[in-house]
Amino acid sequence: MSVLVYVEADGGIVKKSSLEAVAYGAEIAKGAGSSAIAIATGTVAEAELANLGKFGASKILHVSDERLNDGGIQATANVVFQAAEKESAGTLVMARSSLVDAIASRVAIKLGASVVTNVVDLPDTSNGFVVKRGVYTGKAFANVAVPGDKKVITIAKNAISPVESGDAATVEAFSANLSDADFAVKRTKVEKAEGDILLPEADKVISGGRGLKAPENWGMIEELAKTLGAATACSKPVSDMEWRPHHEHVGQTGIKISPTLYIAVGISGAIQHLAGVNSSKVIVVINKDAEAPFFKAADYGIVGDAFEVVPKLTEAIKEVI
Amino acid sequence: MKILVCISHVPDTTTKIKFDGNKLDENGVQFIIGPYDDYALARAVEIQGEKGATVTVLNVGTASTEPTIRKALAIGADDAIRVDAEPTDAMFVAQQIVAVAKAENYDMILMGRESSDFNGGLVHGLVGEMMGWPSIAPCMKLELNGDSATMAREIEGGKEYLEVGLPFVAGVQEPIAEWKIPNMRGIMMARKKPLKVIPPVEVEGVTEYQSFTLPEGKSECKIIDPDNIGELVNLLKNEAKVL
Ligand SMILES: Cc1cc2nc3c(=O)[nH]c(=O)nc-3n(C[C@H](O)[C@H](O)[C@H](O)COP(=O)(O)OP(=O)(O)OC[C@H]3O[C@@H](n4cnc5c(N)ncnc54)[C@H](O)[C@@H]3O)c2cc1C
Ligand SMILES: Nc1ncnc2c1ncn2[C@@H]1O[C@H](COP(=O)(O)O)[C@@H](O)[C@H]1O
C-alpha cells in the first residue's frame, strides 16, 4: 500500500513543514517497499510541486480547484480522502498546521483509519507500528502502537530533517468530487499579518514577557528578530493585555513551538510557558532576576536589564552575521 | 437551544509529570477541568444566560472524575452525563460522545481545542465527521445569530472569520470567554443537579499507549556576563551552532 502525503502551500510556495512530511512519508514508503505520493490543493506553482520529487515523492496529485485556497476544513478533508482512496494509501502523513490539525480526524473517520497526531520521530516498525508523540503538553512523550492497515499521522516540526536528492517528479491533475455541502462553512474575512515570519514555522524565535513593561517597548524585540530573521512571540499575560496579538502567545494554552533558537526576554519561565517552548533546541534567557525559574530550562542566560542587554545583543549579532 | 459541553479531567497545569511504570503517577496530583474545555463551558454558560439554553456537560471517565464534573455544574451547567469508562484514546472518547449526541438533539457541541493530557486535538473533528456536522477548531470567538454562528478561527499569523450553520462542533480556546469561578450558591446548587452515569459503547481499533518517557533534562545553564555580550554571540555561533 502506498503512502500519501498532504502538501500545503502558502502563497503558492510549498511550506517547509510539508517538505519534511514528504521526506517522512518517503522513509515510511521505503521501509515498506512502496512509494510516496503527494497531494496538493489550490493554487501552487507546478515547478514547486515537481520539486517534491527531490524529497522522495514519486508522483504528485494536484487539485487546482481555487475554492480550496480558502482552506475549507470539510472540503480539504474530502479531497485528501478521495486521493487516499484513489491511490489505495495505507498511511497518510501530514505536517501539523492549523488546517491539518482540523482535517486529520475527519479524514481518519472517512478512511476508517487509526489516527495519531503530534508525532516527533519516525515510526518503529520492528514490531507493528509504534510512534513517539508529545503528551502532557510537552512535559512527556508516549510510545503509541497504531493498529490496523490504515493510518493517519500528523508530524511535529523537526520530526525529520529532509535532504534533497533524486529527481523532480511528475505532477498529475486530479479532480475531486466536491459538492456545495463541502463548502457550507463560509469564510467571510481573513486577518493576517503579511510578510512576517510565521511563528509555527520559524527556525528562530524572540519572545517577550511582562518584564518588558509596555507594548511600545517591543521595538527592540522586533529589531533583534529582524536581525536574526526570527519570528516574535510572547507570554500569555502579554497577549491577554493585548500588548501583542493573540497568535504570538506560546505555552500550554498557546502555540507550541520547537525552533532551533528561542530567546526569552523578561519572561519568568512559568511551567505553563515552558510547556510550549521546551522542545526548542537552544534556549537563551534574558532576565534581571537571577532566581527566575526560566534559567533552569535554559542553555545560556544573561542576568541583566533587558533594556540594556537586548540592543547590545542586536549590535553584537550584526557584527557576526 | 441545547448545548453539549465535553470536558476532560486532567492534571493541574502546574503538575510536574511523573510516571509510575506505564501510567501517570497520580500521587499528589490535583485534577482540573481541561483548560480549553473550561473556556467551552464558560462560553456555553454565557449563551445560556443570553439565550436561555440548557447546558449539559459530558465526561468520559471513571468515578474519580466526579468532583471535576460537579465543578462544571457549579460553574453553571444544568446537568451532567458521565460515561463510565477509562478514556483510552481520542477515538474511544469520540465514539462515546457520538453515542450520547445521537440520542439527543443538541444544537451544538462545544469542547476544548485539545486535552492537556493526550493533546490529540482530535475529538472535535472525529465527532463532527461522525455526526456529519462541520467541526471548527481552534475557535476563538463564537456569536450566535438565529440558526447560524459567526466564528473566528486561529490560523497561522492571524485569524479567519467563518459563517457556520447549526448544528456544529467547535473546539475552542481563549479569548472566546473568561474562565468562570464557581461561587458558593453554584456549589450548593451543583449538589442537587442531575449527574447521570451510563455505560460505554464498544469501540474497536483504538491506539495503545505502551510506554512514556520524559524529555531529556537540560544541562547546567551557562551564565554570561551582561558586559560581555560578545561571548554569548560567540557561544551561539561556535558552540551551539545556531547562528
Ligand atoms: C491554566 C493556565 C494556563 C497558562 N498558559 C500559559 C501559556 O500558554 N503561556 C504563558 O506564557 N503563560 C501561561 N500561563 C501563565 C503563567 O502561569 C505565567 O503567569 C506567565 O507565563 C507569566 O508571564 P511572564 O513571564 O511574561 O510574566 P511574569 O511572571 O510577570 O514575569 C516577568 C519577568 O520579567 C522579569 N523582568 C522584569 N523586568 C525586567 C527587565 N527590565 N529586564 C529583564 N527582565 C525583567 C522579571 O524578573 C520576571 O521574571 C498560564 C496559566 C494558567 C493558570
Ligand atoms: N475523557 C473525555 N471526556 C469528555 N470530553 C473529552 C475527554 N477527553 C477529551 N475531551 C474533549 O475533547 C477535546 C479534545 O481532546 P483531544 O482530542 O484529546 O485533544 C478536549 O478539549 C475535551 O473538550
3-state secondary structure chain A: CEEEEEECEECCEECHHHHHHHHHHHHHHHHHCCCEEEEEECCCCHHHHHHHHHHCEEEEEEECCHHHHHCCHHHHHHHHHHHHHHCCEEEEEEECCHHHHHHHHHHHHHHCCEEEEEECCCCECCCCCEEEEEECCCCEEEEEECCCCCEEEEECCCCCCCCCCCCCCEEEECCCCCCHHHHCCEEEEEEECCCCCCHHHCCEEEEECHHHCCHHHHHHHHHHHHHHCCEEEECHHHHHCCCCCHHHEECCCCECCCCCEEEEECCCCCHHHHHHHCCCCEEEEEECCCCCHHHHHCCEEEECCHHHHHHHHHHHHHHHC
Residue-wise pLDDT for A236-268, tens only, equals 999 999 999 988 999 988 888 889 999 999 999
Q: Do A101 and B226 touch (CB under 8 A)?
A: no
| SS3 state at B235 | helix
Give domain status of residue B125, yes or no.
yes
Residue numbers in chain B where pLDDT is lower than 50: none
Residue-wise pLDDT for A194-229, tens only, equals 667 888 888 999 999 999 999 999 999 999 999 999
**Per-residue confidence at A153, pLDDT binned at 50, 70, 90?**
very high
Residues A70 and A177 in one domain: yes
Q: What percent of chain A has pLDDT over 70?
A: 99
State residue A168's pLDDT score: 86
| Last-in-domain residue among A183, A212, A246 | A183
Pocket mutation for ligand 1, best pick of A137, A199, A206, A210 (most atoms within 8 Å of C-beta): A210
By CB atoms closer than 10 A (0-12, 13-18, 19+), residue B150 is: middle
Q: How far apart are CA B110 and CA B7, in angstroms?
A: 9
Residues A231 and A94 in one domain: no
Q: How far apart are CA A263 and CA A242, in angstroms?
A: 21
Measured in whole angstroms, the distance separating CA B172 from the mean position of its chain's CA atoms is 8
Give the three cell numbers for residue B69: 464534573
Q: How far is A260 from chain B (nearest CA, A)?
A: 7
Determine how many CB atoms are found less than 10 A away from the CB of residue B142. 24
Give domain status of residue A134, yes or no.
yes
Residue from B18, B32, B97, B31 nearest B59 by CA = B97
pTM, to two decimals:
0.91
Which value, to the nearest 10 degrees, does the dihedral of the CA atoms of residues B95, B97, B102, B104 take?
Answer: 170
Set of chain A residues whose Cβ sits within 8 Å of the Cβ of B119: 117-118, 134-137
Give domain status of residue B240, yes or no.
no
| Last-in-domain residue among A126, A150, A183 | A183
CATH code of the domain in which B173 resides = 3.40.50.620
Mutate to test the interface with A, among B10, B15, B155, B238 (most CBs of A within 10 A): B155
Give domain status of residue A14, yes or no.
yes
Give domain status of residue A67, yes or no.
yes
**Per-residue confidence at A75, pLDDT binned at 50, 70, 90?**
very high
Set of chain A residues whose Cβ sits within 8 Å of the Cβ of B212: 135, 140-143
Pairing type for strands A282-287 and A300-303 reads parallel
Q: What percent of chain A has pLDDT over 90?
A: 83
Give domain status of residue A193, yes or no.
no
| SS3 state at B51 | helix
Residues A226 and A148 in one domain: no
State residue B169's pLDDT score: 98
- Give the number of domains in chain B: 1
CATH code of the domain in which A300 resides = 3.40.50.1220
CATH code of the domain in which A57 resides = 3.40.50.620
State residue A20's pLDDT score: 95
Q: Do B160 and A246 touch (CB under 8 A)?
A: no
* Ligand 1 lined by B34 (C-beta under 6 Å): no
**Residue in A253, A299, A321 nearest the CB of B173:** A253
Q: Do A147 and B206 touch (CB under 8 A)?
A: yes
Give domain status of residue B52, yes or no.
yes
Pairing type for strands B2-6 and B108-112 reads parallel
State residue A275's pLDDT score: 87
Per the prediction, chain A carries an average pLDDT of 94
Give domain status of residue B192, yes or no.
yes
**Per-residue confidence at A157, pLDDT binned at 50, 70, 90?**
confident
**Which CA distances in Å does B219 have to A2, A115, A158, A243?**
42, 35, 21, 33
pLDDT at A11 over 90: no
Whose Cα sits closest to atom 31 in ligand 1?
A268
Residues A148 and A203 in one domain: no
Give domain status of residue B23, yes or no.
yes
Cross-strand pairs, A144? A131, B209
State residue A166's pLDDT score: 81
pLDDT at A269 over 90: yes
Residues A269 and A226 in one domain: yes
Set of chain B residues whose Cβ sits within 8 Å of the Cβ of A73: 125, 134-136
CB A270 within 8 A of CB A249: no
Give the CA count within 13 Å in the CB-facing half-sphere of B193: 24
Pairing type for strands A57-63 and B2-6 reads unpaired
Residues A54 and A150 in one domain: yes
CB B1 within 8 A of CB B47: yes
Q: Check CB contact of A74 with chain B, cutoff 8 Å.
A: yes
State residue A255's pLDDT score: 86
Q: What is the mean pLDDT of residues A16-40?
A: 95
Residues A231 and A279 in one domain: yes
Domain coverage including residue A26 = 2-183
Domain coverage including residue B154 = 2-215
Residue-wise pLDDT for B63-100, tens only, equals 999 999 999 999 999 999 999 999 999 999 999 999 99
Mutate to test the interface with A, among B20, B111, B204, B207 (most CBs of A within 10 A): B207
| Last-in-domain residue among A159, A183, A207 | A183
CA–centroid distance, residue B198 to ligand 2 (Å): 18
Q: What is the mean pLDDT of residues A175-199?
A: 89
State residue B205's pLDDT score: 79
Amino acid at residue number B93? V
Q: In what helix (H) or strand (E) does residue B216 lie, and over which residues does it extend?
A: none
**Per-residue confidence at A167, pLDDT binned at 50, 70, 90?**
confident
Residue count of chain B, please give it.
243
Residues A16 and A151 in one domain: yes
Give domain status of residue B239, yes or no.
no
pLDDT at A173 over 80: yes
State residue A256's pLDDT score: 86
Q: Do B212 and A281 touch (CB under 8 A)?
A: no
- Give the number of domains in chain A: 2
Give domain status of residue B234, yes or no.
no
Contacts of B35 (CB under 8 A, 6+ apart): A252, A253, B13, B112, B116
State residue A130's pLDDT score: 97
Give domain status of residue B172, yes or no.
yes
Amino acid at residue number B53? A
Name the range with the highest mean pLDDT among A158-167, A271-280, A281-290: A281-290
Residue from B182, B186, B172 nearest B40 by CA = B172
Instruction: Provide the 8-state DSSP code for B113.
Output: S
Give domain status of residue A85, yes or no.
yes
State residue A279's pLDDT score: 85
Give domain status of residue A189, yes or no.
no
State residue A195's pLDDT score: 65
Q: How far apart are CA A80 and CA A4, in angstroms?
A: 9
